[in-house]
Chains A and B, each alone.
Chain A
Amino acid sequence: MDMLTQIIFNSLIAGAIYALVALGFNLIYGATKFFNFAHGSIAIAGGYATFYFNKILGVDVYLSVLLGILCAGFLGYISNKLVFSPLRKKKSSHMIFMVASLGILIVIQAVISLIFTSEFQTLSSSLASSKKYIFLTGIITKTQLILFLSVLLIMGLLVLVLKKTMLGKTISAISDSEEIARNIGINSNRVISYVFVIGSAIAGVAGIFVGFDTGISPTMGMSLLLKGVIASIIGGVGNVYGGVLAAFMLGLIENFGVWNFSGEWKDAISFAVLILFLLFRPQGMFGKK
């Protein structure tokens, strides 16, 4: 019982990372309707870009984080411009988009491995030196607290953009039907470019936090993406709040599962939950927005 607070903290930390991945994935999926595998590797690329600026070039940590986010957004823009946009022009099937995104994932992984090797890298010099806070009987580090607050902030900002700005309204229109949106004069290509930049930048934030919290390696993009996607499906694909809530729920289920069973069941528990949802509530907990 003493450890209940700690398990909840552990769950919130894991859930926050899943939430960041789900937020970007949901946004891109909503507008493009394809499963973007590249999203996972773009998240990790954001982490490595920050690592490069901060650890190799010695740039200030906050500026490095900003540059990492920008790099992830730029990678999202480039992947859309060079691959997905031409495929859209050719009216390629969703399967082609998915395979192309898998190709991008592999290319980004390979490039990161070539530049940084496949060594595990951590962004903080020592997490032990990171300030710790004790609430009840649980311990949470400063990095993790910032991570948790960032998720809430990014979710809030995203909702604000989607609900209150013209860009948000055009994204919603494209998410409902790209064809109708085009017919009423929306430049869908440009809006989708923005979507890729914003979604990928959010993924970059996830990768950067993973780098600070636990560490990154070039091939961890896929597993990171899958947890975000499970959260996205459980919450209802395209639903911003749903994705975030489901991400935290997934974190809780996983960690209480590990507490009651064993660490080797962690991934099996997540995927069992996914299968249950796909079988009995494929629209997710909250359905579409």
Chain B
Amino acid sequence: MKKNTWFIVVGIVVVLGIVGFVFNSKKSSGTTKIVALYPLTGGLASWGESSQKSTQLAVDEINAKGGVNGKRLEIVYQDHKCDPKEALSIYQQSLAQSKIFTSSSCSGTVLAIAPSLKNDNSVLLATVVASTKISSSSPLVYRNWVIETKQAEIAGQEIKSLGLKKIGIINEETDFGKGLATGLQNYLKDSGVAVVADSFATGATDIRTQLTKLKAANVEALFIAPQTEASSEVILTQMEELNFKPKLLVNDIILGAPNLIAKHQALLEGARGGNFVSKSDKLQGFLDKYKAKYGADCAHTTACAVAYDTAYMIADAIKANGDSPQGVADYMRSVNYQGVSGTTTFDQANDRSGVGYVLSEIKGGQVQLVK
């Protein structure tokens, strides 16, 4: 009897699950779904949240104008937590809902998904990812962001212009962090600048000895390449603890973290780095709409602008070629979109072309462009 009761309970749960699935499928027959893989929790949650709000703003506008080809556009938001394993898992689970994906942040998540896209006949429009490995990782990945080598070059140019002879690098062991460190080392090769480099694993909370080593090496400047705001916090806190205050060169994770800058203002004052800045007359109008809808400024202006443009580009692609992944990919190949983040076109490697980083500096707790 007890066994039968268990069978009945399990049976009811299964039947309810099937009914729910069928009900939801019917309900969504008038919609076109797109899956958005964003870091909604974890060290880059604020970037994910900015992307999510911007995407939703675009989608609400599109739906208010009648949707796409008579159907409402619906975004299914999933949290990849900046974890490649998690990203691949939720990508696979989401294939039943849509084969058109967009994502934000963490190069490793895109690199985890890219090899599966062809077999699954799906397409991914990735934003806020900078690893060079993403270029040509799959003909079905389009990267709406700038490649990290350009960010490393900005740091390298700054080091050369300041006439520094010995610099340090501390990077997180992720595709993005390693890529930045390697990019800078390659840029400085044969330049006469001595480089002392060290790294730390993702999730490490004790990097004092790496920092002690860099301090002992008497580096004139330190290039910091973390993957998340959480690891940035660890580095900056332990630098303060060790009284290690060299000239700082930082990446766009730190430049895009106002809370972090406020907390470590003294240490970060004068820190410079490459920042991807949107250049468009339409940008301010978008930022005003964002503030009006959410009651606060977008925390990561360029990430917001790019996510907003990407949603519109996907809608345009579906309008033109239907909601097939291949149709979206074909559309992106020749797209020339004038959006709030500027003009978007993709090069042969499916990377956004014609954009770069600009040198920025933290002054008085604010990030300013260096003229």
Q: What residues make up the interface of A, taking CB atoms closer than 8 Å to B?
A: 2-3, 6-7, 10, 13-14, 113, 117-120, 122, 126-128, 130, 132, 139, 141, 210, 214-215, 217, 219-220, 223, 255, 258-259, 262-264, 266-267
Partner of B241, one of A7, A119, A139, A220: A139
* B173 interface residue per 8 A CB criterion: yes
A128 & B240 in contact (Cβ 8 Å cutoff): yes
> A126 to nearest B CB, angstroms?
6
Instruction: Provide a sorted-by-A list of 12 A–B residue pairs whose CB atoms are within 8 angstroms.
Output: A3-B215, A13-B208, A113-B41, A118-B42, A119-B230, A128-B240, A139-B241, A223-B203, A258-B213, A259-B209, A263-B207, A264-B173
Query: Does B251 sit at the interface, judged by CB under 8 A?
Result: no
Whether, in the assembled complex, B205 has its beta carbon less than 8 Å from a beta carbon of chain A, the answer is: yes
Chain A residue at smallest Cβ distance from B234: A214
**A80 and B173 alpha carbons, distance in the complex (Å):** 38
Q: Are the C-beta atoms of A215 and B206 separated by less than 8 Å?
A: no
B45 at the interface (CB under 8 A from A): yes
Establish whether residues A126 and B263, one from each chain, have CB atoms under 8 Å apart when the complex forms. yes
* Least CB distance, A163 to chain B, in whole angstroms: 33
B263: nearest chain-A partner, CB-CB: A126
The stretch that binds A, out of B54-62, B194-202, B293-301, B320-328, is B194-202
Q: Is B370 an interface residue (CB 8 A)?
A: no
Contacts of B205 in A (CB 8 A): 210, 214-215, 220
What is the chain A residue whose CB lies nearest that of B81?
Answer: A118
Question: CB < 8 Å: which of B198, B208, B242, B263 contacts A262?
Answer: B198
> Which positions in B face A, CB cutoff 8 Å?
41-43, 45, 81, 173, 198-201, 203-210, 212-213, 215-216, 229-230, 233-234, 237-238, 240-243, 263-264, 266-267
Q: How far is the CA of A119 from the CA of B82 in the complex (A)?
A: 12
CB distance from A40 to the nearest CB of B (A): 13
**A156–B205 CA distance with the chains assembled, in angstroms:** 28
Q: Flag if B210 contacts A3 (CB, 8 Å).
A: no
Q: How far is the CA of A223 from the CA of B201 in the complex (A)?
A: 12
- Whether B201 lies near A220 (C-beta < 8 A) is no
A214/B230 in contact, CB under 8 A? no
* Complex contact A262–B206 (CB within 8 A): no
A210 to B45, CA, bound (A): 22
Tell whether, in the assembled complex, residue B233 and residue A117 are in contact, meaning their CB atoms are under 8 Å apart: no
In the assembled complex, the CB of A100 is this many whole angstroms from the nearest CB of chain B, namely: 20
Beyond known contacts A214-B238, A266-B204: 8 more, CB 8 A cutoff: A6-B208, A6-B212, A6-B242, A117-B41, A128-B266, A263-B204, A266-B200, A266-B201
A266 to B42 alpha-carbon distance, docked (Å): 23
Instruction: Say whether chain A's binding surface is mostly helix, strand, loop, or mixed.
Output: helix
- In the complex, the chain A residue whose C-beta lies closest to that of B264 is A128
Specify which chain B residues have a CB less than 8 angstroms from the CB of A13 in the assembled complex.
206, 208
Separation in Å of the A136 CB from the closest CB of chain B?
14
Contacts of A262 in B (CB 8 A): 198-199, 210
Whether A10 pairs with B203 at a CB distance below 8 angstroms is no
Residues of B within 8 A of A264 (CB): 173, 199-201
Name A7's contact: one of B212, B234, B237, B243 (CB within 8 Å).
B212
Docked complex Cα distance between A223 and B204 (Å): 9
> In the complex where A128-B237, A267-B201 touch, is A14 in contact with B45 (Cβ < 8 A)?
no
Q: How far is the CB of B264 from chain A (nearest CB, A)?
A: 8
Nearest CB in chain B: distance from A66 CB, A = 24
Q: State how many angstroms separate the Cβ of B26 from the closest Cβ of chain A.
A: 31
Residues of A within 8 A of B42 (CB): 118-119
Minimum Cβ distance to chain B for residue A140 (Å):
9
Contact B212 A118 (CB under 8 A): no
Most A C-beta atoms less than 10 A away, residue of B200, B237, B267: B237
**A118 pairs with B41, CB closer than 8 A:** yes
- Bound complex: CA A3 to CA B212 (Å): 7
Q: Tell me the smallest distance from the CB of B58 to a CB of chain A, in Å.
A: 26
- B209:A10 contact, CB within 8 angstroms: yes
